[in-house]
Structure 1
Amino acid sequence: MKFKIIVLSLSIVLIGLHSAQAQTSFGIVGGVNFQNLNGTDSDGDKLDNDLIVGFHAGVNLLIPVAPDFYFSPGLLFSVKGASDEAIGIVGSYRINYLELPLNLVYKAKVGNGHILLGFGPYVGYAVGGKAKFEGDNDSYERDIVFQNTIESGDDPEFYLKRFDAGANIFFGYELEAGLFLQLNTQLGLLNIHPEDKRVNDDESVVKNTGFGISVGFRF
């Protein structure tokens, strides 16, 4: 399943490259993420998590659709997650996603370059992740387990759903030479916490949120 998702995502980008108009441009991009997992625990209390620092890297297209407006599909590898602390143990959770952003971009001439303003949805598929726990005398690491439902007999692990979706917003500036800088924010709209049948009236809600800085080059 994971391989099929990767192949499908790459195919979408390659088809876009093949069929794009002459004015279409191709970009590479990378940067740093500041991510969190927001929501509520099983009792409905607000999660008290802290940011982690991750990264993202990938490619995108700018396809003209109207004067100064572009459709921008892309493919990103992005590290998200959060950290927390309880009874002297620090937990950090890092989730590796393949993401397909589908943005509408306004690109207008300003000075020696162009301002960039974009927004749109994204879909993500978790290809892996780690949960790490550190105390005063011990530390250990476990793979995050991805499934949609936690059954009553399942082992005590850190569980999440694989699929995510949400919204992107970014603002940036692109030089005539093709170098660009962007400030990004993402808001996850799907609850990525599985249904937990071990808990009566489970009120757990977990959503990805974050912001970041990207630098890239457009050809």
Structure 2
Amino acid sequence: MKNKIVSIALILLLSASFANAQEKSKLSFGILGGLNFQNLNGKDLGGDKLENDMLLGFHGGINVQIPIAPEFYFQPGIMYSSKGAKNTSGSITSTTKLNYIEVPLNMVYKASLGKGFFMLGFGPYVSYGMSGSVKTVSGSVTLNRDIKFKSVVETGDNILVPYYKAFDAGANIFVGYEMASGLFLQLDTEFGMLNINPEYKILSDDKSSTKNTGFGLSLGYRF
């Protein structure tokens, strides 16, 4: 399933490139990477607000920029992005890490500014969880558990295993500046719109919800 998601994302990028063949000389490709500052926001089982702290992660990937009108571009991409959060309760600290393959589908406005371009972009994204872990530390005791991706946790499943839904989707907005050389810097923010908590059959009154949120700083090169 994971290989299918990656293949579909690559096909989307290639299709977008060839869909505008008559403008082929104006297409450009970008490679970028940087830091994520992510959190998991939502409610716990009782419906109380989650009190998590941001977690430092990273991202990297490629995109293609397709002109659709003067100063406006369609910019699909494929990214590897690490997300998650940290939670401290008394002497216990838990760190949740979620690693995604992400496909952003942005509309970008670029206006000349100095010797380069001001950039403003926005659009949806879809992502699929590839791996993850939860590390719990209490004093000298450390427990590491791998995350399993499931939409529904059945009664017979091991409830000690951390579960999340694999699919996520949301919106992102970014601003940045691209130099004449092709180097660019951008700041983005993401708002997850789906609850990534699975349904627990064993729980009759589960009020929990978890959504990915955060921002990132990227450095890239367009050619």
Instruction: Give the structure-1-normalised TM-score.
Output: 0.97
Match of 2:117 among 104, 114, 117: 114
Give the match's secondary structure for 1:122. strand
* Over 4 Å off, 4+ runs: none
- Once the 2 structures are TM-superposed, how far is the Cα of residue 15 of structure 1 from its aligned partner? 3.0
2:59 maps to 1:56: yes
| Contact kept in structure 1, 2:134 and 2:146, CA below 8 Å | yes
Give the match's secondary structure for 2:51. coil
The equivalent residue for 1:142 is 145
Match of 2:210 among 203, 206, 212: 206
Match of 1:103 among 101, 106, 115: 106
2:87 maps to 1:84: yes
| Contact kept in structure 2, 1:184 and 1:212, CA below 8 Å | yes
The equivalent residue for 1:172 is 176
Instruction: Quote the Cα distance in structure 1 between the aligned partners of 2:102 and 2:217.
Output: 17
- Counting matched residue pairs gives 219
Instruction: Quote the Cα distance in structure 1 between the aligned partners of 2:163 and 2:178.
Output: 40
The equivalent residue for 1:13 is 13
Q: What is the CA deviation profile of residues 47-104 of structure 1, one whole-angstrom value per residue up to 9, with x for unaligned ones?
A: 0011000000000111000010000000000000001022411110111100000000
RMSD: 1.1
Unmatched 5+ stretches in structure 1: none
Amino acid corresponding to residue 134 of structure 1 in structure 2: V
Amino acid corresponding to residue 211 of structure 2 in structure 1: K
The equivalent residue for 2:200 is 196
Unmatched 5+ stretches in structure 2: none
> Once the two structures are aligned, what percentage of the paired residues are identical?
52
The equivalent residue for 2:36 is 33
Instruction: Quote the Cα distance in structure 2 between the aligned partners of 1:8 and 1:25.
Output: 21
Instruction: Quote the Cα distance in structure 1 between the aligned partners of 2:37 and 2:73.
Output: 27
- Once the 2 structures are TM-superposed, how far is the Cα of residue 145 of structure 1 from its aligned partner? 1.2
| Contact kept in structure 1, 2:17 and 2:66, CA below 8 Å | no
Instruction: Quote the Cα distance in structure 2 between the aligned partners of 1:85 and 1:196.
Output: 24
| Contact kept in structure 2, 1:123 and 1:163, CA below 8 Å | yes
Instruction: Give the structure-2-normalised TM-score.
Output: 0.95
Amino acid corresponding to residue 195 of structure 2 in structure 1: N
- Once the 2 structures are TM-superposed, how far is the Cα of residue 19 of structure 1 from its aligned partner? 4.4
Amino acid corresponding to residue 64 of structure 1 in structure 2: P
